[in-house]
Amino acid sequence: MRPAVSYRGVATAYAAGDGSGSCLYGASDDLMVAAMNVTDYESAKACGAYVLVRAAGGAAITVRIVNECPSPCAPGQLDLSRQAFAKLADPSVGRLPITWSLLSPDLPGTIAVRYKTGSTKWWCGIQVAGHRNPVAALEVRTADGWRRLPRTDYNYFLSADGTGCGGALRITDVYGERLTVDGIAVRPDVSQPTGVQFARH
């Protein structure tokens, strides 16, 4: 998913339940959410992205990507929550031609960091949430400089040998902005605010 690109596809609908999904953000009060097709999900790179979806008739909505839509979801396809789909068309339509593009919304609050269950100073998984723009990379500070962590398709960045766990983090968005945060202790399953947020674009 790239900024300033308009994608074409179809919208379908699914029962989003409590708004959680494969991005593992957990339950959400806001059910304006969607699942992204495998191609554009890009192994969780789409997680947390805000997307403007337009139907041919002119109706438009903003959704947040919280889930992955497996095959047969095609490239360009968005599986919207039933609540979101209903704002574009009658759910009986089933499949709706759409265009969609990445948004950089006016978002309250700051980015939060969560360490995965089982994280310690010897192994950790790190999740970034509440970000205005999609996260492109997460790095940890080491004695030799910054080290980029691999991202899983369930939206955690893993430090398999514990390097950097509990230390300074550098988070980069798809626009190239880098934010450095420190003082985030290894506290598994706790959402810890960072006090910083990406700029709007």
What's residue 145's pLDDT? 96
Would the CA dihedral through 189, 190, 196, 200 be positive or negative?
positive
pTM of the model: 0.95
List, for residues 22-70, the tens digit of each pLDDT value: 999 999 989 999 999 999 999 999 999 999 999 988 999 999 999 999 9
Average pLDDT over residues 9-25: 96
> For residue 16, what pLDDT is reported?
95
Secondary-structure percent of the chain, ordered helix, strand, coil, rounded to 5: 5, 40, 55
pLDDT band at 1 (very low <50, low <70, confident <90, very high): confident
pLDDT at 140: 97
- Average pLDDT for the chain: 96
Q: What mean pLDDT comes out for the span 117-123? A: 97
Q: DSSP assignment, residue 85?
A: H
